[in-house]
Amino acid sequence: MDMDRTKSSQPVSVDAIVINNEQVAPRYHLLYLRLEITSSSSVSWLKGVEPGQFVQIDCRPAGILLRRPISIYKWSSEELCLTLLVQRVGRGSSYMCDLKTGDKINIIGPLGTPFATDPAIAGKRPLLIAGGVGMAPIIMLAHHLQQLLGVHPHLIIGARTSSLLILRDEIEQIGCSYSYTTDDGSYGTRGAVLAAPELEQGDYSMIYTCGPRPMMRAIHGWAKKHNVPGQASLENLMACGVGACLCCVENIANQGNTCVCTDGPVFNFDQLLW
């Protein structure tokens, strides 16, 4: 199946003002930004954002030279707003989580190759699986498929414990079916995402996933066993976003070392060697 994807917008550099920074769980923040428009290109790129793409955040005000990649969670070309889900892990993400209302940052985007969302590829019943900050692009994808394309996915979200199952209200408003798993059984099915009973109950046409690497590798194995095609969005460290620094390379089938920031972050399952 041909799952080639094209980028609909060229990336641009634009300043943005923080309009809210909401902590939604321990170590997780929703960062609400409003773009400062200086040209028509600043507006047009928002109109072309697709599920799976990301932005690069300038962290130099915190003394951090390299930009940090963050998946786009929500956007509005009418309101010139962008929402990002950030997990506090290191210095760069901590800088973003500590931003205050009114602070200004610089972003470059949209970057990366998006998920293939054509209904001919997604099929009648795609399965979407996410964990951690991988929830951001997968929830955006679920919304895109369900409300814009009329495709009805099933969504599985996994977390270590119930307090980390964030964005549940948003998930439950999409209109698609959904289920949850937690490692400790505090909410939904006990265990990892592959423990979800819905996994064996559906005749799925396509799988899309984003989250921790071991989770995605296990999902790929399940998909291969059940002969279901799929795509995974990798979360490699990306410093430049344009394929210049080579810090994000991944060994891809029939391609060798490949820049995740430009050829990805979304790859077909059959391309991934893990």
Distance CA 239, CA 180 (A): 33
Is 148 annotated as ligand-binding? Answer: no
- Angstrom distance (rounded) from CA 160 to CA 114: 27
Q: Tell me: is residue 86 an annotated ligand-binding position.
A: yes
- In 3-state terms, what secondary structure has residue 30? strand
97 assigned ligand-binding residue:
no
**Any binding-site annotation on 245?**
yes
**C-beta of residue 235 within 8 angstroms of C-beta of residue 216:** no
Could you tell me which of 131, 33, 122, 137 has the C-alpha nearest to residue 80? 33
The tokens describing 155, both together, are 């969504």
In the sheet that 154-159 helps form, which strands lie side by side, from edge to edge?
189-190, 177-182, 154-159, 126-131, 206-210, 230-233, 266-268
Is 194 assigned a ligand-binding role in the annotation?
no
Q: Is 259 annotated as a binding residue?
A: no
Query: Is 85 annotated among the ligand-binding residues?
Result: yes
- As annotated, the binding site for FAD includes 68-71, 85-87
- As annotated, the binding site for [2Fe-2S] cluster includes 240, 245, 248, 261
- As annotated, the binding site includes 68-71, 85-87, 240, 245, 248, 261
